[in-house]
Amino acid sequence: MEINLLKVYFGNGDTWGVGTQAIVVQMNAGDNVWIRVDDNANANDGNIRVFGCNWSPFSGFWLQ
């Protein structure tokens, strides 16, 4: 099952906009999490990519 928890839009193909987002999710052993870049012609001229030299930082931590 795939659940979309949040979306972020920051700028278009004419700018180098910067955005950030934070979310706290309770997960179980074996759960997966990932970042997906949607194909949005208005945001990235039809090419699926992340600006900033194709880097999309992600970090997580375990609370016990």
pTM, entire model = 0.47
3-state secondary structure the chain: CCCCCCCCCCCCCCCCCCCCCCCCCCCCCCCCCCCCCCCCHHHHCCCCCCCCCCCCCCCCCCCC
Q: Each residue of 10-39: pLDDT tens digit?
A: 666 666 666 777 888 888 888 888 777 666
* Total number of domains constituting the chain: 1
Q: Which domain holds residue 42?
A: 1-64
Q: Each residue of 31-62: pLDDT tens digit?
A: 888 777 666 656 555 555 555 555 666 777 77
